[in-house]
Structure formats: structure tokens, C-alpha cells
């Protein structure tokens, strides 16, 4: 059975369940689409960039972020509550000796609220399987060459837990404002497939 046929069958089942819920008055017409649109409207890599820039300029916030990311991002008016329950967010920070990269080996779990919709390569089977086996090689393909002695940690997201990377702050940015720093941060940096 091809992937396209399987996806079509799943989509057909989802539409059927949605129609049943609407018939029984448990959902309004188009309610699921409206909720998805509302959820995606607030999701942007700018949110993750803002978190990162704040962590770069406020050491106390950085500590709180690494200890309890869900609580820390609320300080900035952000949340991981995209559904019925809040997803657990774990934030990890790159250092000179350790680099983090995020994947979801089973599907494409991803912190949409903080990074926007996931890129196509993040969802690809090639990335999901290879980054676990050969993270250094995959990062090299993204143009990120790390020193041989840099330890690479791969974080596997799940339905319950999402991950975000705080990239290393670029040298020579000491005089930049928080907003200027946020402008340097990319979605790939927040996933760990690029440096900032």
C-alpha cells in the first residue's frame, strides 16, 4: 500500500468522524478547521526567536527556561496549550562543547506555537531516520560543520513532549538589543540544524 493511498484512507476516515460529530451536535460545522486556523495563526518562528533572545540577555530567565520551559514561556505571554492539554516543552541550550538537534522519529511532533508549521524536511522519513543514526553527517548536509570534539545530542519529540534548542549567541552581538538579537534567530537554529 503506497503512502499516498494510506494518507487518503486516513483523511477519509477523519472526514467521516468529523461529519458524525457534527451530525450529533458535538461540533459546529467547520469548527475543527476554525480551531486549526486559530492555533496556526499564533505559531511563528518569531516566538522561538523572542524566547531565545530573552534567554541570551537575561541569565535568570535562561535558567528558568532550561528548568521549566512551560512556566518560563508564560512570562513572555506564550503557551504550549494548543489542544485539550498543554504539551510539555523541554528547552535545551547549545554550548561550545555540546550541540542539540531535534527530531520526531515516529511522525513530525513539533512545537508549532513557537516555531510555526514544521518544514517539509523535518517531516521527511530521510531526516527522521538519519539524524538519529548519523547526526553529524545530517548537520553537515545542512551546512553545519561542528568540531570533532563537540558532543551531539538528538532529542526525540513525542505526542506529549516537544523540544526547542536555544542556539549559541553569536560573538560580537553584545551591543545589540533584544529585538535585534531575535532577528538573528532562525527556525533551523531553533531545531538545531543550523548555527545562528
Residue 92 belongs to domain with CATH number: 3.90.330.10
Q: How far is CA 28 from CA 18, 38, 85, in A?
A: 10, 15, 21
Domain encompassing residue 23: 3-38
**Residue at 71 is within a domain:** yes
Encode pLDDT of 132-185 as tens digits: 999 999 999 999 999 999 999 999 999 889 999 999 999 999 999 999 999 999
How many domains are contained in the chain? 2
pTM of the shown model: 0.81
Instruction: Flag whether 104 is marked binding.
Output: yes
Of 4 and 127, the one with more pLDDT: 127
* Residue 2 among known ligand-binding residues: no
On whether 107 is known to bind a ligand per the annotation, the reply is yes
Per-residue pLDDT band for 2 (boundaries 50, 70, 90) equals very low
Residues designated catalytic: 104, 107-109
List, in sequence order, the alpha helices (H) in 24-134: 31-42, 45-57, 59-67, 69-74, 112-115, 120-123, 125-133
Domain match, 22 and 70 both? no
If asked whether residues 8 and 74 sit together in one domain, one would say no
The answer to whether 163 touches 108, Cβ cutoff 8 Å, is no
Amino acid at each position: 500500500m503506497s503512502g499516498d493511498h494510506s494518507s487518503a484512507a486516513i483523511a477519509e476516515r477523519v472526514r467521516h468522524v468529523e461529519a458524525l460529530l457534527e451530525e450529533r451536535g458535538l461540533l459546529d460545522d467547520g469548527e475543527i478547521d476554525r480551531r486549526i486556523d486559530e492555533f496556526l495563526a499564533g505559531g511563528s518562528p518569531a516566538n522561538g526567536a523572542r524566547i531565545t533572545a530573552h534567554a541570551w540577555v537575561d541569565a535568570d530567565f535562561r535558567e528558568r527556561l532550561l528548568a521549566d520551559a512551560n512556566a518560563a514561556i508564560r512570562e513572555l505571554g506564550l503557551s504550549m496549550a494548543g489542544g485539550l492539554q498543554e504539551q510539555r516543552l523541554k528547552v535545551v541550550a547549545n554550548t561550545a562543547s555540546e550541540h542539540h538537534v531535534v527530531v520526531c522519529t515516529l511522525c513530525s511532533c513539533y512545537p508549532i506555537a513557537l516555531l510555526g508549521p514544521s518544514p517539509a524536511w523535518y517531516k521527511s522519513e530521510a531526516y527522521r531516520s538519519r539524524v538519529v543514526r548519523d547526526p553529524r553527517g545530517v548537520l553537515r548536509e545542512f551546512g553545519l560543520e561542528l568540531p570533532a570534539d563537540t558532543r551531539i545530542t538528538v532529542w526525540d519529540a513525542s505526542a506529549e513532549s516537544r523540544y526547542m534548542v536555544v542556539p549559541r549567541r553569536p560573538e560580537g552581538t553584545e551591543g545589540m538589543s533584544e529585538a535585534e538579537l531575535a532577528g538573528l534567530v532562525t527556525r533551523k537554529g531553533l531545531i538545531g540544524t543550523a548555527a545562528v
